[in-house]
Structure 1
Amino acid sequence: MSTKPDDAGTESEEPERVSAAVDGDSLDAADRVAPTWTEPVAAALSRPFGGPLGRHAQVGRQWFWTPLRVLLLLAMITLAAAWLFKAPCLQTYDTAQGTQLDWRANRQYTAMCYSDIIPRFGMGDLAPDGVFPYKTPWTQQPGSSPQEQHYMEYPVVTGVFQWLNAKITDGWTTLAQLGWLPAAMITVLYFNITALWLTAAWLVVVWAAMALAGRRPWDAALVALSPLAFVHAFTNFDALAAALATTGLLAWARRRPWLAGVLIGLGGAAKFYPLLLLGPLLVLCLRAGRLREGGRALAGAAAAWLAVNLPILLLYPVGWGEFYRLNTARGADPDSLYNALAHYTGWAGFDGPLAPGQVPVVLNAVSLGLFALCCAAIGWLALAAPTRPRLVQLCFLLVAAFLLTNKVWSPQYSLWLVPLAVLAVPRWRWLLTWMAVDAAVWAPRMYYYLGTGNKGLPEGWFLGAVLVRDLVVLALCAVVVHEVLRPGGDQVRRALGPVGSHGRTAVDDPSGGFLDGSPDRVVLPWPRTTADRLVRWARTLGAQRERAS
């Protein structure tokens, strides 16, 4: 390990440069990167509308349709289509017992409209009056033996979010009975109210992604129009955590470490993954000698996480621990690499056949160990790469490694990767290929859940699609590693440079915040033989990609 001496003047901050680097709308039109000049996909899509942007075109003169407003409009179109995609599962029919959801003949699978939000409202910790998540248990199958009692199975922010939506639904129903509001089946109302807030959350993701993209604001169009947002925006509640995680990165980019930590901590109280972003942030702070700022972000995250978790933990410890107990006791989910290996090889798994409720101890240890190895490799890359990687590059690698090595990859988890991938490797053809493949896995998943007895797909077909998805994610990771080792091929770094009309100096990481422009302080030695092999591999991959394009 080598330690580099301090450079004079490195403690000075340049908020003007930083704010411009993370806000596409604040840049002059000439400072923005035109995607029709740099992306073959954008150039091809522009042909029906007159072709790529002309070099003498008047850009930035439209007072209303700024890039942000255009992107939000595109996101609204995608989210409206996403709601329509789930709408078949909201249709009802009348019975002697009252109005029921029309899920007859496994419609939720054949129409591919299934959403966890709909059956969640029927759970005992939401629907009845006077209940509160984590306090009130419910029985999954009343009258069965043995009786299994359950509590809210989500982290605190997501659980309370569901409960508040249930209370809003109750209030709407009461006002509808008085004739003040239109009436609808209560489960449908709950879904629509929840979808409204999730729509707002994804719009926040688009806004934050555009701000983080700096001189490439139009890359956020891939977030706004993502096929994964179309399929999974309303499959579960993950848009909420994605919004907190992305705004946390934006707060860090704008040099507000406490706020960044608070947002990431709240995101970690909604889903676990936002807490993973603290790892790359702290490692890069170590390399840049910015541990004080990284420590502030860590303290803010810990304070925010404790502020929302501690009251529930102290008041209802059993209910609070349900999420952690369930995740510990879960076996390999259908969409995990471990299940695919077991299916194609006939392997019984690390723990063999498990009794109901038995914890897969070996599987948990292996999954954790593999993720720890990935963390070590990413940390070494962060500290030993010839040029300090960008923050979002490492965040993408770490979250992708977590999903690939985890025993669970629920379909909506792919939303976590969308803003990170767009910011880490803004190559439109790569990104659209991955998003299309990942979104397409939803179809074989639904028909696998339908069951072969109902003319569904065999498990092998579904797992084959899962493996293709995993291979595409691995390919994206390889591209990111290649650009870390050869930053000259990084599209974001190519776009960075002097912003002439303002006289600002270049930035090396528009989302880096305090890391941007800081000299390296701690760098691990790079073994020569390893460096030679990686450089040769990177050059070969680059040459193949150039020939393919």
Structure 2
Amino acid sequence: MPGEREPDDAADGAAEVSDTATLRPADRVIPTWTEPLARAGSAPIGGPLGAHAAIGRHWFWTPLRVALLIAVIALTIGWFGKAACVQQYYNEETKQLELDWRSNRPFTAMCYSDIVPLYSAEQLDKGGFPYRTSWYDDAGKPTEHQRWMEYPVLTGLFQWVNAKLTDGWLRVAESGWLPTGLAVTVFFDISAFWLALAWLVTIWAVTRTARRRPWDAVLVAASPLVMVHAFTNFDTLATACAATALLAWARKRPLLAGVLLGIGGAVKLYPLFLLGALLVLCVRAGRMRAFTTTVLAALVTWAVVNLPIALLYPRGWWEFFHRNSLRGADPDSLYNVVAQFTGWQGFDGPLAFGETPTVLNIVTAALFLLCCAGVAFIALHAPTRPRVAQLAFLVVAAFLVTNKVWSPQYSLWLVPLAVLAIPRWRLLLAWMTVDALVWAPRMMFYLGDDKKGLPIDWFLSFVVLRDLVVLGLCALVIHEIYHPARDLVRAAGDDDPAGGVLDGAPDRVVMKGRRRRTEEEVPEPA
């Protein structure tokens, strides 16, 4: 396989390497030597890297560029997977072009994307400003209710900007300079472009953070979850923020890390969960100054983004929180699995329209906090301080498993964290394949029994399988935390590539009763 000529950042403590330098095999992990999957996949291009190969001398094909190329291919497959839902046809009755959603195409073609219906559902086609504009759903029905933009501020503004770009595109297209079509189709394509770019940024950040293991980013690039869900919603924006924040932290730039986490929190809530992992690790290492800088930067950035909207349009800004509090257990949640298989009525019992599932909200929050307490215990009790990516993966996975909503695209959150936490290629690809396959029974279930769809049991069975696999990954991460010699990242000679100020730092606060380190438990540093 081609080598890499790009140097590790000097801020990480690694020696700089010139463009013409030859790296030793010990300078990075060679996947065709260590991963059976990579070894087999290298056969069409000459097989595993030779023992005397000059690593880092190729003029173009670096691990990053290979990963980006694979990602472009995967994203292209993902776009074609959604393209069936933006096809047009001429309706003879209405005498106009319309989306071809006849015969339940979004479900039969499995091309459904939230981006398409949101263009009209969020009134983006009307040109109004999000959070200021309101409308009524179910007008004239007993369930009539007032609505505003339901997404966090930056995600809402992202949609609004894309809607404005759509208007501009269509105006230019009228002169014949650009291809044209339905506004919603143009809106989807413009949104897909930026979402694809965000995923490429995610891959870039993972490659830089992995240090000795840059080839692991290929797993992020070729993930089946990307092919299915990169354009299902707007979640790649959040993964880009979280991944670049981890990179900034790894480069000992806590202020920048906090800014990126604050921006990520204004896109989706989950990037802010990473602060919990950093907190307990900084407590253990006595690096609270760096953490304080990061958390203050994150909070100030989040406030700077949100306050103008919150002050000008308080009710519209609050809609995201309001609607999430009203949501019941989604089909993808374990609570719904238990309810469907047992006939259980839920923690709150039957609810009227618009009634808040108060007990469910309390239970999900309590379970998540309990899991976070467990992660904190592991962080302070383990014989060797866990790596940042390991704890971040555990925290985000705990949120998804205990939450009342696990929208299918949320699984993208775990991909970069899993690759940095447990870079075991076959295992991670198996998980991502199982998770991506949940989409098929989900679409067939939504099609309905009357249209020859699948019964709900098939869908719920895949949900349970996915959750069990994720819990299995969590168990493996915990096992490797307590047995660091089995951690592939530490076995390569690194302490914590994403650790920043934590990398190689001595422990200051450790829970009593932990087992003492032994030479067998901690690999020798390179």
Specify the TM-score bucket, using the shorter chain as the normaliser.
Answer: over 0.9
2:11–2:252: 8 Å Cα contact kept in structure 1? no
Among 496, 515, 538, the residue aligned to 2:502: 515
Map residues 453-464 of structure 1 onto 2, 5 A cutoff: 453-464=450-461
Three-state SS of the structure 2 residue aligned to 1:354 is coil
2:282–2:288: 8 Å Cα contact kept in structure 1? yes
What is residue 43 of structure 2 aligned with on the other side? 47
Three-state SS of the structure 1 residue aligned to 2:198 is helix
Per the TM alignment, residue 125 of structure 1 is displaced from its structure 2 partner at its CA by: 3.2
Give the whole-Å Cα distance in 2 for the aligned partners of 1:516 and 1:350. Answer: 44
Map residues 332-411 of structure 1 onto 2, 5 A cutoff: 332-411=329-408
Per the TM alignment, residue 194 of structure 1 is displaced from its structure 2 partner at its CA by: 0.3
What is residue 108 of structure 1 aligned with on the other side? 106
Per the TM alignment, residue 310 of structure 1 is displaced from its structure 2 partner at its CA by: 0.5
Residues paired across the two proteins, number: 509
Q: Deviations over 1:394-438 (max 9, x none)?
A: 000000000000000000000000000000000111101100000
Per the TM alignment, residue 355 of structure 1 is displaced from its structure 2 partner at its CA by: 0.6
Per the TM alignment, residue 64 of structure 1 is displaced from its structure 2 partner at its CA by: 1.3
What is residue 54 of structure 2 aligned with on the other side? 58
What is residue 154 of structure 1 aligned with on the other side? 151
What is residue 267 of structure 1 aligned with on the other side? 264
Q: Deviations over 1:84-129 (max 9, x none)?
A: 1111111110112411000111100000000000001012431103
Map residues 475-490 of structure 1 onto 2, 5 A cutoff: 475-490=472-487
1:383–1:522: 8 Å Cα contact kept in structure 2? yes
1:27–1:215: 8 Å Cα contact kept in structure 2? no
Give the whole-Å Cα distance in 1 for the aligned partners of 2:397 and 2:385. Answer: 20
Q: Could you tell me which amino acid in structure 2 is paired with residue 121 of structure 1? A: Y
Three-state SS of the structure 1 residue aligned to 2:331 is coil
1:22–1:254: 8 Å Cα contact kept in structure 2? no
Give the whole-Å Cα distance in 1 for the aligned partners of 2:251 and 2:169. Answer: 40
Give the whole-Å Cα distance in 2 for the aligned partners of 1:429 and 1:466. Answer: 21
Q: Could you tell me which amino acid in structure 1 is paired with residue 490 of structure 2? A: R
What is residue 11 of structure 1 aligned with on the other side? none
Give the whole-Å Cα distance in 1 for the aligned partners of 2:427 and 2:116. Answer: 34
Among 8, 12, 26, the residue aligned to 1:18: 12
Residue segments in structure 1 that go unaligned for 5+ positions in a row: 1-13, 497-506, 540-549
Shift in CA distance, 149/29, structure 1 to aligned 2, threshold 3 Å: farther
Per the TM alignment, residue 23 of structure 1 is displaced from its structure 2 partner at its CA by: 11
What is residue 5 of structure 2 aligned with on the other side? none
Q: Could you tell me which amino acid in structure 1 is paired with residue 88 of structure 2? A: T
Give the whole-Å Cα distance in 2 for the aligned partners of 1:273 and 1:225. Answer: 23
Shift in CA distance, 107/459, structure 1 to aligned 2, threshold 3 Å: same
Among 80, 87, 108, the residue aligned to 1:84: 80
Three-state SS of the structure 2 residue aligned to 1:407 is coil
Q: Could you tell me which amino acid in structure 2 is paired with residue 519 of structure 1? A: P
Q: Could you tell me which amino acid in structure 1 is paired with residue 460 of structure 2? A: L
Three-state SS of the structure 2 residue aligned to 1:356 is coil
Map residues 147-546 of structure 1 onto 2, 5 A cutoff: 147-496=144-493, 507-526=494-513
189-198 vs 44-53, which moves further? 44-53
Shift in CA distance, 193/81, structure 1 to aligned 2, threshold 3 Å: same
Per the TM alignment, residue 146 of structure 1 is displaced from its structure 2 partner at its CA by: 4.8
Q: Could you tell me which amino acid in structure 2 is paired with residue 292 of structure 1? A: R
Three-state SS of the structure 1 residue aligned to 2:90 is strand
Give the whole-Å Cα distance in 2 for the aligned partners of 1:333 and 1:27. Answer: 53
Q: Deviations over 1:125-161 (max 9, x none)?
A: 31103x1101000222344345321100100010000
1:22–1:211: 8 Å Cα contact kept in structure 2? no
1:253–1:510: 8 Å Cα contact kept in structure 2? yes
2:9–2:16: 8 Å Cα contact kept in structure 1? no
1:36–1:46: 8 Å Cα contact kept in structure 2? yes
Give the whole-Å Cα distance in 1 for the aligned partners of 2:71 and 2:417. Answer: 17
1:24–1:214: 8 Å Cα contact kept in structure 2? no
1:136–1:151: 8 Å Cα contact kept in structure 2? yes
1:23–1:214: 8 Å Cα contact kept in structure 2? no
Per the TM alignment, residue 27 of structure 1 is displaced from its structure 2 partner at its CA by: 9.0
Shift in CA distance, 19/90, structure 1 to aligned 2, threshold 3 Å: farther
Q: Deviations over 1:305-338 (max 9, x none)?
A: 0011001100111000111011111100001000
Task: Calculate the TM-score normalised by the size of structure 2.
Answer: 0.93
1:257–1:296: 8 Å Cα contact kept in structure 2? yes
Per the TM alignment, residue 29 of structure 1 is displaced from its structure 2 partner at its CA by: 5.7
Q: Could you tell me which amino acid in structure 1 is paired with residue 23 of structure 2? A: D
Give the whole-Å Cα distance in 2 for the aligned partners of 1:524 and 1:357. Answer: 46
1:22–1:511: 8 Å Cα contact kept in structure 2? no
Per the TM alignment, residue 517 of structure 1 is displaced from its structure 2 partner at its CA by: 1.3
1:261–1:300: 8 Å Cα contact kept in structure 2? yes
Residue segments in structure 2 that go unaligned for 5+ positions in a row: 1-7, 522-526
Per the TM alignment, residue 174 of structure 1 is displaced from its structure 2 partner at its CA by: 1.0
Give the whole-Å Cα distance in 2 for the aligned partners of 1:455 and 1:330. Answer: 28
Give the whole-Å Cα distance in 2 for the aligned partners of 1:24 and 1:440. Answer: 44
2:116–2:184: 8 Å Cα contact kept in structure 1? yes
Shift in CA distance, 527/291, structure 1 to aligned 2, threshold 3 Å: closer
1:23–1:210: 8 Å Cα contact kept in structure 2? no
Task: Calculate the TM-score normalised by the size of structure 1.
Answer: 0.90
Three-state SS of the structure 2 residue aligned to 1:93 is strand
Among 129, 150, 155, the residue aligned to 1:132: 129
Give the whole-Å Cα distance in 2 for the aligned partners of 1:48 and 1:69. Answer: 19
Give the whole-Å Cα distance in 1 for the aligned partners of 2:346 and 2:506. Answer: 48
Three-state SS of the structure 2 residue aligned to 1:318 is helix
Give the whole-Å Cα distance in 2 for the aligned partners of 1:244 and 1:426. Answer: 21
Among 9, 24, 28, the residue aligned to 2:23: 28
1:266–1:305: 8 Å Cα contact kept in structure 2? yes
Q: Could you tell me which amino acid in structure 2 is paired with residue 411 of structure 1? A: P
Give the whole-Å Cα distance in 2 for the aligned partners of 1:110 and 1:21. Answer: 54
Per the TM alignment, residue 48 of structure 1 is displaced from its structure 2 partner at its CA by: 3.5
Give the whole-Å Cα distance in 2 for the aligned partners of 1:328 and 1:27. Answer: 56
Per the TM alignment, residue 261 of structure 1 is displaced from its structure 2 partner at its CA by: 0.2
2:64–2:217: 8 Å Cα contact kept in structure 1? no
1:20–1:214: 8 Å Cα contact kept in structure 2? no
Map residues 92-103 of structure 1 onto 2, 5 A cutoff: 92-95=88-91, 96-103=94-101
Shift in CA distance, 527/518, structure 1 to aligned 2, threshold 3 Å: closer
